Structure 1
């Protein structure tokens, strides 16, 4: 939990964030949205046929960030921030001077606090042309050990209007050319899980 995408870093911003949804519940009004029905997103057994079952694997996929294909990205519905780990940031050859300062920490399991070294906005593309989607994503850059190169949390998944299925290890999202999908890599998910356990054993 944490970051600056939804609530900002000040107490006032957090109170405003809470009041905005309370106002919807009290008045019944809601923010204006673009007219037009979104297509229905669904999953079938056919979507899961290439997976090993039963499984308890995470949803780990590859995405395009700017001009780079970034692998080992965890799709995490429980993360309030989009994260890019510093080693991946370095491999992309981005000048560290482009990082903007951020003072808000993350709060993890057990109350552990992690302070990002900055944030940067980069274009992310998912899907296959013409059923693809490109959105700017504000990544918080974190310098700590991880088996992943990045994490996509609910800020980006909401902006995609995405539906995720852990059972199918898949994301589906609407585009101008019907529903597109992003398939997770089950083998990579298990590699990351094992690597994380080995890192913990080493510590």
Structure 2
């Protein structure tokens, strides 16, 4: 787990800016991954002798394929021993966070998803006390609690059956998809219910079910 990972969301006036990555101690060398997302058109350049000031690709919206690449390259950092984030998992993440219903994530939706993924990744590794790269049922219960939610034993078993492997253990990819869905359906219920019950027309139920 990389404890030095940093994400910032800031508002800057139009100007030229220089971003300098550095290590904690002097005279050390290290590799950095720097990703910039902007609502407006920007042009980024690497100021080194090895590059000829060619602008880097910018992301105004992120689609499923781009999300898969970003997650596997930045969250897993090339460690794909468990297969990485699948295209189906990324499609589910986009659907859960796509409040504008475009099939893509705008900058605000993407930043919101990214922060959640980083948080849930940290929770996953903190609760994986067996250090197997998968969560057992008891570890899953602790991870859900650490995420600020609580479920009963019947629901926990159902989640393990739906999202777990044949052994019932849950990978990082499945855990993140599960927590995102659990958070989403809780918000939907809070928004559409009176606190105890929720009434939906058939068309409303189908709409929610098909794109969450």
Category of TM-score, reference length = shorter chain: under 0.3
Structure-2-length-normalised TM-score: 0.24
Structure-1-length-normalised TM-score: 0.25
Q: Which has the higher helix share?
A: 2
**Whose relative contact order is higher, 1 or 2, with alpha carbons under 8 Å and at least 6 apart?**
1
Larger Rg: 2
Q: Which has the higher strand share?
A: 1
